[in-house]
Amino acid sequence: MIVLYGFLPSGNVYKVRLLFAHLGIEHRRIEVAQYAGHTSLPAFRRINPIGKVPVVRLDDGSVLTESGAILYYFAQGTQFWPSDLQAQTETLRWMFFEQYSHEPPIAGNRYMLGYMSDRTGLEGLIAMNAARGEHALRVMDGHLAEHSWFSGDQYGIADIALYAYTHVANDGGFDLSPHAHIRRWLNDVCAQPRHILLLQETSVSPVTTLEEERGV
């Protein structure tokens, strides 16, 4: 069975879990949490030297990393990856935008405000992230004023990628109320068949830890 390494509240892991839910892909999850130091363990670095989740292990033992690449892999041949080259390019455009211009400031502030008790010395970074994240949200809102989706003409993996941290942007101190088009789009994403919530467990077998795995 497909194995997913990741932390339940991680937006990057949620992207994969959300696509798996839409496609009905069964998997089991191994808990790997950055805040608990799991991503720095040698056992995990052997699986992904970059030390980031999500990681997917396929039945043949091969390993996929980077949420965007994992989404691409599983979306092939489905409605979540457009067939038209221009729409494919547009989809990747927003996925690269998400990883470069959107996730770092928005997930960064969510992590620092939500998981760190001592933020001394980080005030400047948090303020810079607030400005960069707000710019990314304005760009998204401007796109959504004229388009329904980020993946061409229909809901797809660019929407999944951007939804993950946008819908919890408030955790990082971002205010979505001025962005009416984003709020419309968030509702449209939630209304998709088989949508799951961020903290909704979808593993078909009990979640295990890296330590338990090594004991097997």
Kindly list the residues in this chain that would bind a copy of itself in the complex (CB under 8 A). Answer: 49-52, 62, 64-70, 72-73, 76, 85-86, 88-90, 92-93, 95-97, 99-101, 103-104, 121, 124-125, 135-136, 138-139, 142-143
Q: Who's near 72: CB < 8 A, 6+ residues apart?
A: 81, 157
Answer whether 182's CB lies under 8 Å from 113's CB: no
Smallest distance from a copy of itself to CB 138, Å: 8
Nearer to a copy of itself (CB atom), residue 123 or residue 212? 123
Nearer to a copy of itself (CB atom), residue 61 or residue 206? 61
Smallest distance from a copy of itself to CB 144, Å: 12
Smallest distance from a copy of itself to CB 201, Å: 26
Nearer to a copy of itself (CB atom), residue 60 or residue 206? 60
Smallest distance from a copy of itself to CB 97, Å: 6
Burial bucket for residue 209 (CB in 10 Å: 0-12, 13-18, 19+): middle
Nearer to a copy of itself (CB atom), residue 42 or residue 49? 49
Sign of the alpha-carbon torsion through 50, 136, 108, 124: positive
Nearer to a copy of itself (CB atom), residue 125 or residue 196? 125
- Angle in degrees, 0-180, between the axes of helices 11-23 and 103-115, rounded to the nearest 10: 110
DSSP H helical segments within 64-179, as ranges? 67-75, 85-97, 103-115, 123-144, 157-166
Smallest distance from a copy of itself to CB 190, Å: 25
Distance CA 104, CA 21 (A): 25
Nearer to a copy of itself (CB atom), residue 42 or residue 193? 42
The two structure tokens encoding residue 187: 């509702």
Burial bucket for residue 131 (CB in 10 Å: 0-12, 13-18, 19+): exposed
Smallest distance from a copy of itself to CB 173, Å: 20
